[in-house]
Amino acid sequence: MTSEFVNEGPARIAFQSRGSCTIITLMGEIDLSNAARVEERILDGRNGALSYVLEMSALEYLDSAGLAMIDRLHREISGMGHTLRLVAPAGSIVHSVLGFAQLSGLSIEESFDAPGEGAGL
Amino acid sequence: VSEPGNPVFPEEDLAVLEILASRAGIAFENARLYEREHEIATELQSAMLPAELPRPLGLRFVARYLTAAAGLRIGGDWYDAFSLGDGRLVCCVGDVVGTGIRAASAMGQLRSAVRALAATSAGPAEVLERLDSFATSVEGGRMTTLAYVEIDPQRNLLRYACAGHPPPLLLHDGKVRLLEAGRSAPLACFRTSKRAEAVEQLPTTASLILYSDGLVERRGEPFDAGLERLSNTVMALARMDEGIVEHIDELVERMLEGLVQRDDVCVLVASGVERRTFHYDLRADPNELRPLRQALREWLSENGLAGDESNRVLLATGEACANAIEHGQRFDGRAGVSVDLDLEADGELTAVVSDKGSWRPPTGGNRRGRGLPLIRFSMESFELDRSDSGTTVRMRRKLAMRGDA
């Protein structure tokens, strides 16, 4: 099940449940103007999944406010004992920003194949 | 053919009909073969033209190629533009004698030879000298004409040589001049003198126009009249707002107006890009960041920058502006932030972001703590100038020029 995309300033967010995994797709741009609201949307959208994927293949911009957002999401999610994975293709601006930041305990995957509907992770 | 009332053909009529049918068959077959050859030659030719022209800093290349009108055989015109890897660029237009598949194939071989020789020759005259012996060995390569120009944007110079080709046109300040020096005979033909070349100043905002004779030649008209028509047309188009690059289609259209049967036509324009500075004012409001990025992306792409180099500039400028917006908000929500970028011909980029607030280290470590490190990561140097009247962030980076890739 994929939710409709919701707009948050220049960004769009969608949630998709696959078994015990929730895929959060981010599109558009995340900067100082919307990072805090995107973070809220993501935290509100949590649904008891055990693992989360931030799918940012189509995200066109991410600045330091966005980095801080991911950092806090990571702390929040791992604090509950759940896992967070990041997906951003090599060569993208998002990939270079994440690579620069070297967020501890978080690795960047270049692509992500969503597991089939209903498959548990 | 049969007589009314008699459905049977007389013997002699049948013989005539048979001959007629076989002749028509041959004619149809010829027409089909001819059409097929035309198709193959057209395909071959377009496959041999460069898929993409270089986009170096401060220069724009555009080209148009029109194959001969239907019914005429495809000729061997070609154009090319490429980087020499040291900041200099080469552009050329050539014309192989003959038509059809053979001409298209000779054209392809010569175009590759020009690229190979350009990188290892001392200059245009030497390229032509060495092409002479190559063209002799290519079937259909003899008597090929070529205009070959080397552009050095950093020193605002061009060196050129013409082997029997119509002279390139230089447009500057609304005036045009034919580059008539550096002339010698077509390739691979008997000649007694050495290959000549000439040097010319190339002002930053000048345009260079290379073309094949199909653009200027008209039956029954002296060649010089065609050159004069071209000069006048280019001057008329240069008076319009945008550069000649934006009017290349109009140029071709006007030059070919009224021509029923035209030859192949090839035009290549290299134009200096004037817009190397970028200025943008924004209010101290985070919602202003995105429109700024859109304008900046457009400017970067106009200047031939893409990928990682472009991303670094976007990031550094974005972070500096986010800082400025935070100061502005703290002191006066209406305070403005101004952004100025400057790109030198050698790729040196300077970005200056200034605001009217006084500097404070970015606060709320959680919110944007990585702003400054991200700027340092993206640029080579970074200076901060704080005073009572405002804060100025000055960043620099030497960008790799894509034309050199």
Does A60 contact chain B (CB < 8 Å)?
Answer: no
Contact A25, A14 (CB under 8 A): yes
Residues of A in contact with B374 (CB under 8 A): 63-64, 67, 97, 100
**Under an 8 A CB cutoff, do B286 and A31 touch?**
yes
Is the CB of residue A89 less than 8 Å away from at least one CB of chain B?
no
Q: Which residues of B81-100 are buried (b: 16+ CB within 10 A; e: fewer)?
A: bbbbeebbbbbbbbbbbbbb
Structure token pair of residue B235: 């001057």
Distance CA B17, CA B215 (A): 47
Q: Note whether A72 contacts B: Cβ–Cβ < 8 A.
A: yes
CA-based nearest residue to A29, from A41, A11, A17: A11
Q: Which amino acid belongs to residue B298?
A: E
Q: Tens digits of per-residue pLDDT, B60-102?
A: 899 999 877 655 567 789 999 999 988 899 999 999 988 888 8
Mean pLDDT of chain B: 85
C-beta atoms of B307 and A61 within 8 A: no
Q: Could you tell me which of B180, B270, B176 has the C-alpha nearest to residue B230?
A: B176
Average the pLDDT over B96-122 and give the result: 90
- In this structure, what token pair is assigned to residue A70? 């991911």
Residue A76 forms contact with B (CB below 8 Å)? no
Q: Give the minimum alpha-carbon distance from A118 to chain B in angstroms, rounded to a whole number.
A: 37
Nearest CA in chain B to A75: B366
pLDDT average, residue stretch A84-90:
94
Q: Where are the beta strands (DSSP E) in A39-118?
A: 51-55, 59-62, 83-87, 108-109
Position B55 scores a pLDDT of: 77
CB B359, CB B386: distance < 8 Å: yes
d(CA B344, CA A69) in angstroms, rounded, equals: 36
Residue B173 exposure: Cα atoms within 13 Å on the Cβ side: 3
pLDDT digits (tens, 9 = 90+) for B344-368: 877 889 999 998 765 555 554 445 6
pLDDT digits (tens, 9 = 90+) for B162-175: 999 999 999 998 89
Lowest mean pLDDT among A85-89, B136-140, B237-241, B382-386: B237-241
Across B284-290, average pLDDT:
92
Which of A31, A33, A93 is closest, CB to CB, to B311?
A: A93
pLDDT > 90? residue A100: no
CB contact under 8 A, B369 and A64: yes
How large is the angle between the packed helices B307-331 and A93-101, nearest 10 degrees? Answer: 70
| Per-residue pLDDT at B365 | 46
Is A61 in contact with B286 (Cβ distance < 8 A)? Answer: no
| B290, B293, B370 ranked by CB distance to A64: nearest | B370
Model-level ipTM above the cut of 0.85 = yes
User: In whole angstroms, what is the distance from residue B329 CA to residue B171 CA?
Assistant: 49
The verdict on pTM exceeding 0.95 is no
Q: Do A64 and B319 touch (CB under 8 A)?
A: yes
The type of residue at A32 is: L
Dmax over Cα atoms in chain B, in whole Å?
114
Q: Which residue, among B292, B327, B337, B370, would best test binding to A if mutated, counting the most A CBs under 10 Å from its CB? A: B370
Containing H/E element for A68? helix A64-79
Residues 6+ apart with CB under 8 A from A119: A18, A19
State which H helix or E strand residue B125 sits in: helix B124-137
